[in-house]
Amino acid sequence: QSKEKGRNLYTFFEQEMSQQASRHLQLLNSLRGAVSNNEMSLVYQPKVDMHSNKIMGAEALLRWNNNDFGFVSPAEFIPVLEGSSLISQVGHWVLDQAFSQLKYWYSAGQWREDMGLAINISPKQLLDKSFVEQVEVLLAKHDIPASLVEFEITENVLVENTERITQVLLQLTELGISFSIDDFGTGYSSLAYLKKLPIEVLKIDKSFIDHCTTEGNDQAIVRSILSICNELGLTSVAEGVEYQEQQHQLQDMGCDLLQGYLFSRPVPADEFEMLLK
Ligand code: C2E
Ligand code: MG
Ligand code: MG
Ligand code: MG
């Protein structure tokens, strides 16, 4: 009987796995035409100053709306893109689109010099041989100061290919771009890179922010990250702030910037413009 149970369980996993694999393939197929069919768009989520609530910048986030699948979460389709060479094409579109929007806001006097536009960059893009050149060409094309641009990368990207990645980050820093570590505290890397690499911002992962008002351990972790930021002169950002209690707690602890649904969801460019006004 237990053998049979085992077999049933096995076929259950098999089915589950092949369903996942076929969804992956279907998404991949649809993603091939996503850029040329205008199915991709960017939304912008503000980062606000912890005291004044003043908007100090935004994070650009990718959205995909497809006829067959509707809106698919980036948490699902980004890994599909990353598993193919499509991430380079889509990543290039994201940069082009974000720079063009930034140029528009900047020329209209709506984007201040002290604001930063953050763009998520996947590890594969950073390792792309032509990435630095791509960025340089796009900065020139849109004629925007690189100092307004921030790239968000995750710690894990620094674990492998360390030398190559270091070189790429330094080249991009030379262009004037700055770097944030996204989802800080959830990766597998040592902290040594913080003193070696040109990192300016740590974004504290939402998983630590969620219960920072009630869980002693989460609070201790957030405090420790903030103290690292203080000691090393880095800017701190809390991700996923949803409640006023969290805001007050983070203000007390001295987190520089806050980002989350409490202030605004990620919104289309025209709505973000309203927030700026
Ligand atoms: P991320 O970079 O850590 O972005 C933060 C995610 O948290 C976003 O999800 C954002 O919408 C969500 N979020 C912000 N505030 C709150 C909040 O208060 N509550 C909750 N529950 N969620 C909040 P999103 O837009 O679904 O993106 C998911 C992930 O997909 C991003 O995580 C990023 O890793 C990736 N991603 C998004 N756009 C791009 C892109 O253009 N390029 C690349 N390479 N990755 C991207
Ligand atoms: Mg991010
Ligand atoms: Mg994040
Ligand atoms: Mg995150």
Q: pLDDT per residue over 25-76, tens digit each? A: 999 999 999 999 999 999 999 999 999 999 999 999 999 999 999 999 999 9
Q: Give the integer Cα–Cα distance in Å for 42 and 268.
A: 7
pLDDT (0 to 100) of residue 190: 84
**Is the pLDDT score of 6 beyond 70?**
no
Q: 150 in ligand 1 pocket by Cβ < 6 Å?
A: no
pLDDT (0 to 100) of residue 127: 95
Q: 46 in ligand 1 pocket by Cβ < 6 Å?
A: no
> How many angstroms separate the alpha carbon of residue 236 from the centre of ligand 3?
12
Q: Whose Cα sits closest to atom 6 in ligand 1?
A: 240
- What's the one-letter identity of residue 100? S
Write out pLDDT tens, residues 63-80. 999 999 999 999 999 999
Identify which of 72, 78, 247, 267 to mutate to test ligand 1's pocket (most ligand atoms within 8 A of the CB): 78
What is the atom index within ligand 1 of the atom nearest the CA of 91?
42
Q: Is the ipTM of this complex over 0.90?
A: yes
Q: Which two tokens stand for residue 38?
A: 């205008």
- Nearest to residue 222, comparing CAs of 214, 123, 151? 214
User: Using a CB cutoff of 8 Å and minimum separation of 24, what contacts does 20-29 make?
Assistant: 24/80, 24/83, 26/68, 26/69, 27/69, 27/72, 27/76, 27/77, 27/80, 28/80, 28/83, 28/84, 28/86
Helix 74-82 to helix 2-32 angle (10° resolution) is 80
Q: Give the integer Cα–Cα distance in Å for 159 and 57.
A: 28
Q: Which two tokens stand for residue 269?
A: 């460019």
pTM, full prediction: 0.94
Q: Which two tokens stand for residue 139?
A: 């900065």
Q: Give the integer Cα–Cα distance in Å for 61 and 34.
A: 16
How many CA atoms does the CB half-sphere of 3 hold within 13 Å? 0
| DSSP codes of every residue in 29-95 | HHHHTTTTTT-EEEEEEEEEETTT--EEEEEEEEEEEETTTEEE-HHHHHHHHHTSTHHHHHHHHHH
Write out pLDDT tens, residues 80-127. 999 999 999 999 999 999 999 999 999 999 999 999 999 999 999 999
